[in-house]
Structure 1
């Protein structure tokens, strides 16, 4: 498989042992990333992601480091980032669905577990990712421009993409805690973008809001075929999305082609939220 150079340097992908995290890791590799740090609770899944990338026989495959662990653990976060000397891109995919329950029936333990991964864990990652990226020089944009000065104006020190959800924008029955964690990710993204996107930092921070995507996490969140059919029925495009479609959006947000995009929540949902 031929690669097409859209990104260069080092990237971290959390939750890269399966689903969207795996797809993002693969597409980043195809897009030209040279150093890839992958983390997930599932060590076997990480090995499978690495094998998938290796099997592509890319002309310039990335150097891959697998660092299994739990991003909800401050001790693991410290260990993880001690192994990453330099970082250009970060994609925070790690997340869980949690229990399906009405608020009056939900448990404090379930609330804490969801927030520990989806919001607190992601925040801890973003904090360390920013620290690393602030050490970078500004890299000029290398694509087509109308004048030499545009390359400098479109430069960046780094790009962070947080995986939120369409459910951070709309509601879902018996999922109040989950939807709130994803709304928190969107709010975090907007505020961090205000603080770090402009001079002197030049780090862009965006979110992606996937809809019903064909991943184990999503499929397991629907109780039976009827629930899935109902969700697809609310999607104007009338189908489930593919992990590769989310990954392509993530790579665009990493690349200089999206150089004037920050603080956004790019919705990749087949039109679900406009129904």
Structure 2
């Protein structure tokens, strides 16, 4: 680790061979032109799925993800849409039906932060985060479920009629002062996911969530870029390393595959033990 910065460090995630667990399936990943969404989209492609890259800005970044996925021999294209807009979500899924014929996997990853002390938080900051992080997941999941129900199970493709992965956060469990809107959105995702899973499981639709901990992404650069920040962050992570987008991506591939066919309504915490509350390791 450099004395002043960790930004040049190579991934701390161990190398893993990506098997073709998703061949013949079609996936949509929201917020997929950077960070966790980008890694998930690339991993799904490497696992054999055709992938739609949803994004809201930076056309060049989205195009780069598409080209990376195509190297795996699968199809991909980018679609610009705001997931908090009902009309834009409907258009995005309509195009996917035209391009790929159906959808088998939805990874609802799009999310953002608008941080503020609670007493200074504006209604606009509150609404923006809830609209993208929570309502966006509802709109995308609803569109996907309608297609899953129309098509039903295709045994040659998957044991399930469809798979939804809701990207949550350790902050669906851990309170986060100064980020009340974000934590509230993630708490909402928890029960959105569980309620969908309960209702849709009899239709052979599997809904689960991934709750990342501290992951090295552009959204939280200040938390890991310097040695001092990284060392401070590690006091919250018993496993002793920062998470990488690849750690989340590999979990997503597993949850989207038939290897996890009996996993329904579960949040998979990928956090190096952050939700173990390490501050109490020596008795608090």
For the pair 1:261 / 2:263, whether they are aligned, the reply is yes
RMSD of aligned Cα (Å):
2.1
SS at match of 2:56: coil
Cα offsets for 1:192-215 (capped at 9, x unmatched): 0000012xx100000100001011
Structure 2 counterpart of 1:41, from 56, 65, 82: 56
| Equivalent in the alignment of 1:197 | 201
Cα offsets for 1:214-243 (capped at 9, x unmatched): 111132578976555433211001111010
| Equivalent in the alignment of 1:173 | 177
For the pair 1:51 / 2:70, whether they are aligned, the reply is no
In structure 2, list runs of 5 or more residues that go unmatched.
1-16, 279-284
Q: Cα distance, 1:36 vs. partner? A: 1.4
Check 1:188–1:114 CA distance in 2 against 1; reply closer, same or farther (3 A cut). same
Structure 2 counterpart of 1:89, from 86, 90, 105: 105
For the pair 1:188 / 2:203, whether they are aligned, the reply is no
- Matches of 2:230 and 2:121 in 1, distance apart? 23
| Equivalent in the alignment of 1:74 | 86
Equivalent residue pairs, number? 256
| Equivalent in the alignment of 1:217 | 219
Q: Cα distance, 1:171 vs. partner? A: 1.3
SS at match of 2:151: coil
Structure 2 counterpart of 1:24, from 40, 50, 64: 40
Q: Cα distance, 1:130 vs. partner? A: 0.6
Check 1:114–1:103 CA distance in 2 against 1; reply closer, same or farther (3 A cut). same
SS at match of 2:216: coil
| Equivalent in the alignment of 1:14 | 30
Check 1:228–1:122 CA distance in 2 against 1; reply closer, same or farther (3 A cut). farther
Q: Cα distance, 1:25 vs. partner? A: 0.8
Q: Cα distance, 1:38 vs. partner? A: 1.2
Q: What is the TM-score of this pair, normalised by structure 1?
A: 0.87
- Matches of 2:18 and 2:30 in 1, distance apart? 23
Whether contact under 8 Å (1:97, 1:221) holds in the other structure is no
Check 1:3–1:263 CA distance in 2 against 1; reply closer, same or farther (3 A cut). closer
